[in-house]
């Protein structure tokens, strides 16, 4: 018996090529992370990526097609579109992050009141959320911008408030799930105070999914904000904000397709990268809970 045990090779330390492949990150996540790193660089230090002055006029090269000198072409005033997209990253991301902060803050308040408030408070808040959900996000944002006037601050406020009801419903469900869980019942049986239970058990477990929601919300907020700018209800020219670039380029769509197509592709790329990262975080958290 002892001879057999000595001859049996240990299998725990053996790692097959298949297991090593499983440990490698998905290709989509690698590409998304690389794209987000470029966007972060453009946010912090756009001068490292830009090739021209984004505001310099050069009428001799107006509406120049993409070329080795002008990677994304030029606009009607001869400004380098690539450099304008790079410098517009900061304004676009600030609007997206600001709108995300507004929406999640408002959603936390509404979701907590709907889940933890008394019958009257919870019922009232739930009815308010349902009424707000009846309005499409873009339509509600258009209404708010029409009231407050077009500006970057109006975009942040409008997109944030318009996105909040959907997130409030998610947070309400997470709080109710944590509130009715076994560990909360055990804490109640042990005589813990309501404040301690809320602070140590309900809030941490209810807020954990927000990590993934934040990543998803940033890309969505930038898309909504760019839609407002495209409709002329955002940042005014000559701002290089991506939605403003779309709005300025639609006049020349038949002459210079790159003025509209390229900024639109950049918006799509950021939204896809943020969504990919958010989905990966969400899947990781779900696996950890199991």
pLDDT, tens digit only, all 290 positions of the chain? 444 444 444 444 445 555 445 556 788 889 989 999 999 999 999 999 999 999 988 888 889 999 999 999 999 889 999 999 999 999 899 988 999 899 989 988 898 888 888 888 888 998 988 888 888 888 888 888 888 888 888 889 888 888 888 888 888 888 888 777 777 778 777 777 777 777 777 777 777 767 777 777 888 888 888 888 888 787 877 888 888 888 888 888 889 999 999 999 999 999 889 888 888 877 776 675 55
Element containing residue 56 per DSSP (H, E): none
Q: Of 192, 168, 195, nearest to 105 (Cα)?
A: 168
Is 240 part of any domain? yes
Positive/negative CA dihedral, 249, 253, 259, 263: positive
Q: What are the Cα distances from residue 118, in Å, to 28, 101, 198?
A: 45, 27, 15
Separation CA 283–CA 290 (nearest Å):
11
State the pLDDT at residue 80: 93
Is 187 part of any domain? yes
Is 111 part of any domain? yes
Is 87 part of any domain? yes
Is 272 part of any domain? yes
Is 62 part of any domain? yes
Residues 6+ apart with CB under 8 A from 173: none
Query: For the domain that residue 232 is a member of, what is the CATH number?
Result: 1.10.3720.10
Range of the domain at 211: 51-288
State the pLDDT at residue 4: 44
How many domains in the chain? 1
Is 44 part of any domain? no
Q: Of 175, 159, 201, nearest to 122 (Cα)?
A: 175
The structure's pTM equals 0.78
């Amino acid at each position: 018996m002892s001879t057999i045990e000595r001859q049996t090779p240990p299998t725990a330390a053996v790692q097959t090529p298949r297991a090593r492949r499983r440990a490698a990150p998905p290709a989509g996540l690698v590409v998304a992370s690389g794209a987000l790193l470029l966007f972060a660089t453009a946010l912090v230090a756009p001068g490292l990526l830009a090739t021209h002055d984004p505001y310099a006029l050069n009428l001799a090269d107006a509406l120049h097609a993409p070329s080795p000198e002008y990677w994304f072409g030029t606009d009607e005033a001869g400004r380098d579109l690539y450099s304008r997209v790079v410098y517009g990253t900061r304004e676009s991301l600030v609007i997206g992050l600001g709108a995300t902060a507004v929406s999640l803050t408002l959603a936390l308040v509404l979701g907590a009141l709907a889940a933890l408030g008394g019958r009257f408070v919870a019922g009232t808040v739930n009815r308010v959320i349902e009424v707000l959900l009846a309005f499409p996000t873009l339509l509600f944002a258009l209404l708010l911008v029409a009231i407050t006037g077009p500006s970057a601050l109006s975009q942040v406020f409008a997109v944030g408030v318009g996105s909040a009801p959907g997130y409030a419903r998610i947070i309400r469900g997470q709080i109710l799930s944590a509130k009715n869980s076994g560990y909360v019942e055990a804490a109640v049986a042990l005589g813990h105070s309501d404040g301690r239970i809320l602070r140590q058990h309900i809030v941490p477990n209810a807020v954990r999914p927000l990590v993934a929601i934040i990543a998803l919300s940033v890309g969505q907020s930038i898309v909504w904000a760019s839609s407002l700018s495209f409709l002329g209800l955002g940042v005014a020219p000559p701002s290089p904000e991506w939605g403003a670039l779309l709005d300025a380029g639609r006049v020349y769509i038949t002459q210079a397709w790159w003025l509209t197509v390229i900024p639109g592709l950049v918006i799509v790329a950021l939204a896809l990268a943020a969504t990919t990262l958010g989905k990966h975080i969400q899947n990781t958290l779900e696996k950890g809970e199991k």
